[in-house]
């Protein structure tokens, strides 16, 4: 087990999958010569050449359309959308083509397409480069959605996505790229649809999505250090579609209280769907209303002080846990 960064884990997964399967290739804006705007694809152009690491024009619809065609013809493209905010530019390709191609062909057309997308606020990037758009696509059948929060899961889930037969939106939080953590050597694959218990506890279940996981673990430490300690079980769903509901329900059976934390806006965010599912499947075990911690329902401000006011943090999770404990 080594310690590597989140971005190194993604780079390693791409490199290993390109070595393993000649049908895997990368395309997107600045993925080649620049090595990606966040440096995640650095070195891959030099190793695999421009036929397998393709810099594209600035056209998200073109990137996704080309990747869809390649996937349907038997290749395994990994397309990069530089900022999640730009997924709207490829909306028709994603919603009406990528998500539906396999279904509308009666299963004859496979779509082994992975779309890497940056998500979340990197700090003072303003309203068009800071959004967390995961829930936009939870409403679209045919798309899988992964939100890795650790280097090990970034590598393992990306490998699983590339090897699968269905399109996967792979959301990488910008503020996690430099975060380091343990990652297994060798061919590490994490199946989509399996949540991970990041910290065991008995009083409150905290479901933390993507970049909120480190803040949830920080909140759990704060709550455990109180004069009257509160024991938090922290769960990382890892994927939103498919969602590992049994693991979430099992935790609720144990704790009776739930806090759901994500950086997306609160209204109709991922937490709304998870809360609804727990209300359907675990209401008999709940001793308190479900609490959601999320960004306020306003565009992301540019000013750092205002941005921090809008975004959720560890203290917000602490406050929510105290509320459900009452």
Active-site positions read 129
- Give the DSSP H/E element, type plus range, for residue 19: helix 6-20
125: left (phi over 0), alpha (psi -120 to 50) or beta: alpha
How many angstroms separate the CA atoms of 167 and 121, rounded? Answer: 25
3-class secondary structure, 234: strand
How many helical (H) and strand (E) elements, i.e. helices and strands, does the chain have? 12, 14
Three-class SS of residue 182? strand
Tell me if 324 sits within 8 A of 257, measured CB to CB. Answer: yes
C-alpha to C-alpha distance for 311 and 295, rounded to whole angstroms? 5
DSSP 85: G
For the record, the structure tokens of 122 come out as 């990197």
């Amino acid at each position: 087990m080594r310690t590597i960064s989140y971005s190194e884990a993604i780079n390693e997964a791409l490199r290993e999958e390109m070595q393993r399967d000649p049908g895997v290739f990368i395309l997107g804006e600045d993925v080649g010569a620049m090595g990606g705007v966040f440096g995640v694809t650095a070195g891959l152009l030099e190793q695999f050449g421009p036929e397998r690491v393709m810099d594209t024009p600035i056209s998200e619809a073109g990137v996704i359309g080309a990747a869809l065609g390649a996937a349907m013809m038997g290749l395994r493209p990994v397309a990069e959308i530089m900022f999640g905010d730009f997924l709207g530019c490829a909306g028709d390709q994603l919603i009406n083509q990528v998500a539906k191609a396999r279904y509308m062909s009666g299963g004859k057309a496979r779509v082994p397409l992975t779309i890497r997308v940056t998500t979340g606020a990197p700090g003072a990037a303003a309203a068009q480069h800071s959004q967390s758009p995961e829930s936009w696509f939870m409403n679209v059948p045919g798309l899988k959605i992964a939100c890795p929060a650790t280097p090990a899961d970034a590598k393992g889930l990306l490998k699983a996505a590339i090897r699968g037969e269905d399109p996967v939106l792979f959301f990488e939080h910008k503020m996690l790229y430099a975060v380091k953590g343990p990652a297994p050597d060798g061919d590490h694959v994490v199946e989509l649809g399996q949540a991970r218990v990041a910290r065991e506890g008995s009083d409150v279940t905290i479901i933390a999505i993507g970049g909120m996981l480190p803040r949830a673990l920080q909140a759990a430490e704060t709550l455990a250090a109180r004069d009257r300690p509160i024991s938090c079980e922290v769960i990382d769903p890892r994927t939103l579609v498919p969602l590992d509901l049994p693991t979430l329900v099992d935790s609720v059976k144990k704790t009776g209280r739930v806090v759901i934390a994500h950086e997306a806006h609160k209204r109709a965010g991922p937490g709304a769907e998870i809360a609804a599912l727990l209300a359907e499947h675990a209401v008999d075990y709940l001793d308190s209303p479900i609490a959601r911690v999320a960004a306020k329902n306003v565009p992301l401000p540019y000013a750092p002080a205002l941005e921090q006011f809008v975004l959720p943090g560890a203290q917000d999770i602490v406050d929510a846990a105290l509320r459900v404990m009452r």
